Amino acid sequence: MIFLGAADEERGGGGAKQFVRTAPEVEAAVVGEPTGLIPVVAHKGGIRWEITFLGRSAHSSVPEHGVNAIREAMRAIAALEALEGHFRATTSHEMLTGPTITPTMIRGGRAHNVIPDECAVWIDVRTVPGLPEQEAKDRVIEALETMGVEARHGPVLVSTPPLDTNPQEPISQACLAACKKAGTADRFGTLTGGTDAPIFAAAGWPSIVLGPGDLHRAHAVDEKVSLEEVLKASGVYRDVILNSR
């Protein structure tokens, strides 16, 4: 058994990727993200980058002399909402909700009386198996080009593939059996967020996400895990190890 405390999970899984490059033979992986002690076999992938929408500055008393980059960004966001609907209609997974395209940060404007010539928007695209991350980004760029919006795309900050582990894998069944014994779950679950598990799966190691805590509390001011659930998790992990021998 190997215990791995990997760094950089939030920014592309650098620690997990380094481990994969140097690891000895591994049969399977259990990633201890918060799942409420429900064994997770599928979750979404994600890709994030900044798009800077370009306009032309002018005095705000004569807006027709400029091109308002904030308005261009607003038009683009509406178009991306339509693209999200197309993704959902054409890409599905039996356990996951559809792909999403979410603007998460925005900044623009130079002065309160000047038509803005730039407006930057961070885009968070969540993918599902069957929609590769690069294809999703290419479709976003294509949609903006089609509508004639002038934009500059920054480098990808994070690109994480989705997880899609076969529930019949031995590690999947070992985790489910341990959770049933502990009374925490009688079925497999999913996550909407990403983890390091797909990095291990890509190396050929069937991977499950299983841990104490609630993902909805993550990154919140009241983020916490109950001690009772942590103690219960220790028993679950023990049984997973014993059942996987």
- The length of the chain is 245
pTM: 0.83
Find the DSSP H helices in 96-169.
Answer: 133-146
What are 70-118's pLDDT values in tens digits? 999 999 999 999 999 999 998 888 888 889 999 999 999 999 999 999 9
Residue type, 96: L
For 193-210, write each residue's pLDDT tens digit.
889 999 999 999 999 999
* Digit-coded pLDDT (tens) for 19-39: 999 888 899 999 999 999 999
Assess contact for 161 and 46: CB atoms under 8 A.
Answer: no
Cβ atoms of 119 and 55 within 8 Å: the answer is: yes
**CATH architecture, domain defined by 45-160:** 2-Layer Sandwich (3.30)
β-pairing, 100-108 with 40-43? Answer: unpaired
> What fold is seen in the domain 9-44+162-243?
Aminopeptidase (3.40.630)
Domain residues of the chain, as ranges?
A: 9-44+162-243, 45-160
